[in-house]
């Protein structure tokens, strides 16, 4: 395989240029609007928009705010990748894995999965308020040879898995809500804990110390140890997941039977 850029370093370089510069949600007109609207610069514009009732706060709800942050960095990285010759980038679905898929000769060929996670700082400033979710544990992660819905290809086809963590302080007083954004790029196994990130969902959780996330000091000494632990984990399997799994296994068996048939035919010729 051709030598390419190291995706992790490339992402780190790009992310160091990223600024979350979303000041709120724009409203076209309101009872307090007046015209013409003039401003000499960004600060005056913001003040003028606010006084004219054109600016609504971003959502408080963590998942909704996380989505705004994710969309903003995904747009930014997509634009950066489009300027890089030989780099291909594909955006994943909202509920699928990964958020971004990188491929092409710029990164040495093969497929690389990049997922974005936003997390709020806890009041003590040293931890995330809740554990970051690294993967859904009972589908594509547990069955890495199968091609699950919501994914581009089987999990096991990726040469690299990387997470972009967006850690911020929540400010309920500001329209932007987000302050002191820190971006960390890590391999998921390096920041994994032995705990789920939700008591009701089948999610693999990260460690919650921000220092540990930054340093990549999770609970596992090697990727092997991480995969063994979490693939053995007794996640519950819903009837829908069970049905999907059976469908995928049947498809894989049919494919294998077809390969065997062709192989025997080929051998007979």
**Where on the chain is the footprint of Ca ion (CB under 5 A)?**
99, 116
User: Which CB sits closer to Ca ion, 23 or 96?
Assistant: 96
User: Which CB sits closer to Ca ion, 49 or 168?
Assistant: 168
User: Which CB sits closer to Ca ion, 54 or 112?
Assistant: 112
The single residue listed with the structure tokens 């809740």 is: 130
Q: 190-223 burial by CB neighbour count: b if 16+ within 10 A, else e?
A: bbbbeebbeeeebbbbbbbbbebbeeeebbbeee
Which residues have C-beta within 8 Å of that of residue 188, sequence separation ≥ 6? 115, 134, 135, 161, 162, 163, 206
For the CB of residue 113, give the shortest distance to Ca ion in the complex, in Å: 11
For the CB of residue 165, give the shortest distance to Ca ion in the complex, in Å: 10
What CA–CA distances, in Å, run from 262 to 215, 251, 259?
Answer: 50, 17, 5
If one counts every other C-beta atom within 10 angstroms of the C-beta of residue 136, the result is 20
For the CB of residue 36, give the shortest distance to Ca ion in the complex, in Å: 41
Strand 192-196 versus strand 203-206 pairing type: antiparallel
For the CB of residue 31, give the shortest distance to Ca ion in the complex, in Å: 37
Rounded to a whole number of angstroms, the distance between the first and last alpha carbons of the chain is: 33
If one counts every other C-beta atom within 10 angstroms of the C-beta of residue 264, the result is 9
Secondary structure (3-state) at 208 = coil
User: Which CB sits closer to Ca ion, 106 or 206?
Assistant: 206
CA 238-241-242 angle, 5° bins: 85
User: Which CB sits closer to Ca ion, 116 or 219?
Assistant: 116
**8 A C-beta contact, residue 163 and residue 247:** no
Closest CA to 106 of 8, 7, 9: 7
For the CB of residue 71, give the shortest distance to Ca ion in the complex, in Å: 10
User: Which CB sits closer to Ca ion, 99 or 202?
Assistant: 99
User: Which CB sits closer to Ca ion, 99 or 101?
Assistant: 99
For the CB of residue 204, give the shortest distance to Ca ion in the complex, in Å: 13
For the CB of residue 99, give the shortest distance to Ca ion in the complex, in Å: 5
């Amino acid at each position: 395989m051709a030598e390419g850029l190291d995706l992790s370093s490339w992402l780190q370089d790009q992310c160091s240029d990223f600024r979350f510069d979303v000041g709120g949600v724009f409203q076209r007109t309101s009872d307090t609007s007046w015209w013409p609207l003039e401003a000499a610069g960004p600060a005056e514009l913001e003040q003028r928009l606010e006084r004219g009732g054109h600016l609504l706060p971003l959502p408080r709800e963590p998942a909704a705010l996380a989505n705004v942050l994710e969309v903003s960095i995904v747009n930014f990285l997509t634009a950066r990748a489009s300027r890089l010759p030989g780099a291909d980038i594909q955006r994943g679905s909202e509920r699928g894995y990964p958020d971004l898929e990188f491929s092409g000769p710029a990164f040495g060929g093969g497929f690389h999965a990049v997922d974005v996670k936003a997390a709020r700082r806890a009041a003590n400033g040293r931890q995330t308020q809740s554990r970051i979710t690294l993967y859904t544990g009972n589908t594509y992660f547990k069955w890495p040879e199968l091609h699950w819905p919501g994914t581009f290809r089987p999990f096991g086809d990726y040469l690299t898995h990387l997470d972009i963590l967006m850690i911020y302080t929540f400010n309920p007083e500001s329209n932007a809500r987000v302050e002191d954004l820190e971006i960390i790029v890590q391999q998921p196994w390096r920041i994994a804990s032995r705990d789920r990130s939700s008591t009701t969902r089948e999610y693999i959780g990260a460690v919650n110390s921000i220092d540990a996330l930054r340093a990549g000091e999770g609970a596992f000494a090697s990727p092997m140890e991480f995969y063994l632990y979490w693939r053995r984990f007794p996640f519950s399997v819903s009837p829908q997941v069970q049905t999907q799994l059976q469908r995928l296994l049947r498809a894989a068996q049919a494919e294998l039977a077809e390969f065997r048939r062709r192989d025997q035919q080929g051998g007979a010729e």
